[in-house]
A and B are shown apart, each in its own frame.
Chain A
């Protein structure tokens, strides 16, 4: 698409808006792009783009994968344009491109990494055509917006340009089938001794063969539908992977076999969930052209940003805040599983209410029946303090999960929750909070810490 007067005007005005926002210390990662698209609807098609575009989409892990890719490329001398600081919808991508171009709309950088919201694929991919398109996984997410994985699958699959090289998870039989005519590279994690013979989660959206509808046989399952399966009736099966990874959590190493060669990397996580994210990033970086040595060097100094996690120890008790993304049953189930598996005796404060819904509406609570609250039914969890307007709903869910009623306490105000902690043999207090309740969670954490400071009952 050529640059016309309308485009140049939109670019000038949006650049001016960006400059003004930055002048006043505002985050200019959304509004300038929104303004540009409003003034010139095909703005994304007319602006120059970097030569190589890497897009990352998927239900879970896309921010982490983007961060890993950007950090590794930057460590290897690439000047990367990205939407890391802001929105992952079309306005966010437009804002990033505005910031990375001259006043005439010419791209200043040669490589871009964009996180793409799944539903926004159809607004972005027709104009911003990725050289490499990464999809981390596809799961259920918010039912209001994302409906179900099949709906999201079709949006992405039908939007991807034919020339994009796909980087896909062979252990996710949903996203593995995206845009079947595109060239692709698969990654997977090889069988591990912690694998399960079948899914223990409530949600498994890949139970039946997409071809003949017989029940799939799983060779192994990691969580939900992530694993390796085949159809005993028609032969449909998980694809062979090009990059097969094997993590060793004890030694902190990640071994990847690729075309018969073995490469080793430092493992930057102790969770299987983030191991998948790291393998995704490594596969992309290898396909992009970095050597194993270049990636290894970059990962040796890389840490996963734990902005959604905090830990402090007061009077011998560790207080951990952990984001549990409300309305997202997969993310919450992963957090509940993590809490269960953490060593020590635990008390939990739940603050999962949607902070926006409770102002003017009533939260749609269907998702709690898709989330594995059963993981919280564990001897190592001595008490669960359920806070917020929807506390009775969570209590009912936990009762149905088998948690004894005497372990459950309902409080309507989150800030009152620490008053009900007993610290009776407690090693850890987990404060599990919704995405937009982080500030309130910090207040709850501080109050918990203050109570512990003055608590004399602990030996």
Chain B
């Protein structure tokens, strides 16, 4: 009997800033038999009391990051246990920073994170960083968009999500994007990361143990991906 897939989306009422929510909608389209749970800020997360296959969280505002850190702090040990046990996490945009050591403001003040990863983030609210990014993870070429006020610093050489081919990683000097431990995937790439990367969705479906690995609207999503990849691989393309 196939294992029931349960996907929990954390705080969709706020963590959906750049179309991130559509990652969940697309998974729903690919996995019609999976169970999806939306957990609001005032709810106890489902992962506390029941097994979940995957936890997703998207981009949010800076003040909401602080709110989310406070809401999740009581569950830090549980989150670490889930990561260690191979639960899939996908964090897009600045949701990744929640799991870092701290977030530093321009004035030097710090917001303590969940301290699950040793890296830290630094905000610069007057300088928005916008860029395209092209990378590679386990042979899968990944494309994405970045639009952010903060970058991460520290050593992610053993805990990065993917190697950057063009664009930048967790900060403008890095070519290693995001954070990864077991099946925890964190990336600054904002918004519809899965819709931009159908091959990674297939990889995810395999990790989830999905019986069918046919993508929803496969022809169209692959055509969009191939066209974008061709553009991103063009050396003349402006990344910023």
Q: Which residues of A contact B (CB under 8 A)?
A: 140, 143-145, 147-148, 150-151, 202, 207-208, 213-215, 360-362, 364-370, 389, 392-393, 395-396, 399-400
- Would A392 and B220 be within 8 Å (CB), given that A400-B26, A400-B29 are in contact? yes
7 extra interface residue pairs, beta carbon distance < 8 Å, beyond A369-B192, A369-B195, A370-B19: A150-B63, A366-B147, A369-B21, A399-B217, A400-B26, A400-B29, A400-B217
B213: interface (CB < 8 Å): no
- Would A151 and B195 be within 8 Å (CB), given that A360-B238, A362-B228, A364-B145 are in contact? no
Given the complex, which residues of B lie within 8 Å of A360, measured CB to CB?
236-238
Q: Which residue of B lies closest to A399 (CB)?
A: B217
B40: interface (CB < 8 Å): yes
B182: interface (CB < 8 Å): no
Contact, CB under 8 Å: B220 / A396: yes
Give A85 to B130 CA distance when docked, in angstroms.
30
Give A399 to B218 CA distance when docked, in angstroms.
11
Binding stretch for chain A, among B10-18, B96-104, B203-211: B10-18
- Would A208 and B220 be within 8 Å (CB), given that A150-B63, A214-B42 are in contact? no
- Would A362 and B13 be within 8 Å (CB), given that A213-B67, A215-B42, A396-B217 are in contact? no
Contact, CB under 8 Å: B130 / A364: yes
What 5 pairs between A and B have smallest CB-CB spacing? Answer: A369-B19, A366-B191, A392-B224, A369-B22, A207-B13
Question: Would you list which residues of chain B between 1 and 57 have a CB under 8 Å from chain A?
Answer: 13-14, 17-22, 25-26, 29, 40-42
Q: How far is the CB of A397 from chain B (nearest CB, A)?
A: 8
Q: Which residue of B lies closest to A408 (CB)?
A: B220
Give A305 to B192 CA distance when docked, in angstroms.
36
- Would A366 and B19 be within 8 Å (CB), given that A143-B147, A147-B149, A148-B61 are in contact? yes
User: What sequence of 0s and 1s flags, for each residue 222-240 of chain B, a beta carbon within 8 Å of any chain A beta carbon?
Assistant: 0110011001100011110
User: What sequence of 0s and 1s flags, for each residue 53-82 of chain B, a beta carbon within 8 Å of any chain A beta carbon?
Assistant: 000000001110001000000000000000
Number of interface residues of B (CB under 8 A): 44
Give A143 to B19 CA distance when docked, in angstroms.
11
Contact, CB under 8 Å: A366 / B190: yes
Contact, CB under 8 Å: A393 / B145: no
B110: interface (CB < 8 Å): no
Contact, CB under 8 Å: B238 / A366: no
Contact, CB under 8 Å: A147 / B19: no
Q: Which residue of B lies closest to A212 (CB)?
A: B42
User: Which residue of the partner chain, among A145, A213, A392, contacts B41 with CB atoms under 8 Å?
Assistant: A213
Contact, CB under 8 Å: B42 / A144: no
Q: How far is the CB of B114 from chain A (nearest CB, A)?
A: 18
Contact, CB under 8 Å: A362 / B217: no
- Would A362 and B67 be within 8 Å (CB), given that A208-B41, A370-B18, A400-B26 are in contact? no
Give A270 to B149 CA distance when docked, in angstroms.
40
Contact, CB under 8 Å: B217 / A144: no
Q: Which residue of B lies closest to A364 (CB)?
A: B145
Given the complex, which residues of A lie within 8 Å of B41, measured CB to CB?
208, 213
Q: Which residue of B lies closest to A358 (CB)?
A: B231
B221: interface (CB < 8 Å): yes
- Would A396 and B232 be within 8 Å (CB), given that A213-B42, A366-B18, A369-B191 are in contact? no
Q: How far is the CB of A304 from chain B (nearest CB, A)?
A: 30
User: What sequence of 0s and 1s flags, for each residue 117-151 of chain B, a beta carbon within 8 Å of any chain A beta carbon?
Assistant: 00000000100101010000000000001010100
Contact, CB under 8 Å: B40 / A215: yes
Give A400 to B217 CA distance when docked, in angstroms.
8
Contact, CB under 8 Å: A365 / B145: yes
Contact, CB under 8 Å: B147 / A400: no
Give A392 to B222 CA distance when docked, in angstroms.
9
Contact, CB under 8 Å: B21 / A202: yes
Q: How far is the CB of A29 from chain B (nearest CB, A)?
A: 26
Given the complex, which residues of B lie within 8 Å of A393, measured CB to CB?
224
Give A213 to B25 CA distance when docked, in angstroms.
25
Give A293 to B125 CA distance when docked, in angstroms.
47
Give A381 to B217 CA distance when docked, in angstroms.
21
- Would A208 and B13 be within 8 Å (CB), given that A213-B42, A215-B40, A364-B130 are in contact? yes
Contact, CB under 8 Å: B25 / A400: yes
Give A449 to B190 CA distance when docked, in angstroms.
41
Given the complex, which residues of B lie within 8 Å of A399, measured CB to CB?
217, 220
Q: How far is the CB of B124 from chain A (nearest CB, A)?
A: 12
Give A361 to B227 CA distance when docked, in angstroms.
13
Given the complex, which residues of B lie within 8 Å of A368, measured CB to CB?
19
Q: How far is the CB of A384 from chain B (nearest CB, A)?
A: 13
Contact, CB under 8 Å: B19 / A367: yes
Contact, CB under 8 Å: B147 / A147: yes
Give A30 to B17 CA distance when docked, in angstroms.
33
Given the complex, which residues of B lie within 8 Å of A389, measured CB to CB?
227
- Would A392 and B223 be within 8 Å (CB), given that A148-B61, A213-B42 are in contact? yes
Give A392 to B229 CA distance when docked, in angstroms.
13
Given the complex, which residues of A lie within 8 Å of B195, measured CB to CB?
369, 396
Given the complex, which residues of A lie within 8 Å of B22, measured CB to CB?
369, 400
Given the complex, which residues of B lie within 8 Å of A215, measured CB to CB?
13, 40, 42
Q: How far is the CB of A404 from chain B (nearest CB, A)?
A: 12
Give A365 to B125 CA distance when docked, in angstroms.
23
Give A150 to B14 CA distance when docked, in angstroms.
12
Q: List 16 A-B contacts (CB under 8 A).
A: A143-B190, A145-B128, A150-B62, A150-B63, A202-B21, A213-B42, A215-B42, A360-B238, A362-B231, A367-B19, A369-B19, A369-B20, A369-B22, A369-B192, A393-B224, A396-B221
Give A369 to B21 CA distance when docked, in angstroms.
8
